[in-house]
Amino acid sequence: FVAVGIPGTQNLRDSVVSGSFRKVGGPDGGGYGLILRDQEPESRDGLNQCGHYYVFEAGDRGQVGLWLRDGDRWIDLLTWTTSDAVRRGTASNELTVSAIGDHLSFLVNGVPVASQTDTVLHSGAAGVFVGGDGNEVALDRIAVRVPR
């Protein structure tokens, strides 16, 4: 697993984070995605994944999932679920997470795939996440926007 913070995104409240990801190598399975409302962004160095944050992922098998990281354990909010919005294999996928107030919404390639009411984390940093043994992923674009 790799978790990396996006510089300059500390203490975001309302935000929209989007990134264009594609799998470039490794075995079938694994995922890639966005970290939102990270309470400890300074520790998101690519090695340390402990902390308090949300992860929204898509995978090369056409699935999406949503988890809350609570210290050193994962809490399933949406276990891996098949979604027609996800392009499989090595195709590029555009992931977008919108966090406005207590409402989190998740889109893949512009299609809404999940939503969640946030009762735990109300602000924090953004980042990127790659999961799965040997999963190699390219991040072609990342954008963080604060709605006005």
How would DSSP label each residue in 32-89?
A: EEEEEEES-GGG-BSS---EEEEEEEEETTTEEEEEEEEETEEEEEEEEEE-TTSPPT
Least confident of 87-91, 93-97, 117-121: 117-121
Query: CB 67: neighbour CB atoms within 10 A?
Result: 20
The edge-to-edge listing of strands for the beta sheet with 103-108 is 111-117, 103-108, 93-100, 15-25, 136-145
Q: Are strands 15-25 and 111-117 parallel, antiparallel or unpaired?
A: unpaired
User: Predicted confidence band at 53 (pLDDT cuts at 50, 70, 90)?
Assistant: very high
CA–CA distance, 129 with 68 (Å, rounded to integer): 13
> Which band of pLDDT confidence, cut at 50, 70 and 90, is reported for residue 47?
confident
Query: Mean pLDDT, to the nearest integer, of 28-54?
Result: 91
The pLDDT assigned to 44 comes to 86
Return the ∠ at Cα 59 (arms to 36 and 19), rounded to 5°: 45
pTM of the complete model: 0.94
pLDDT digits (tens, 9 = 90+) for 32-44: 999 999 999 888 8
Q: How confident is the model at residue 105 (pLDDT cuts 50, 70, 90)?
A: very high
pLDDT value of residue 36 = 95
How far is it, in rounded angstroms, from Cα 140 to Cα 120? 31
Q: What percent of the chain has pLDDT over 70?
A: 100
Provide CB contacts within 8 A for 7, sequence distance 6+.
none
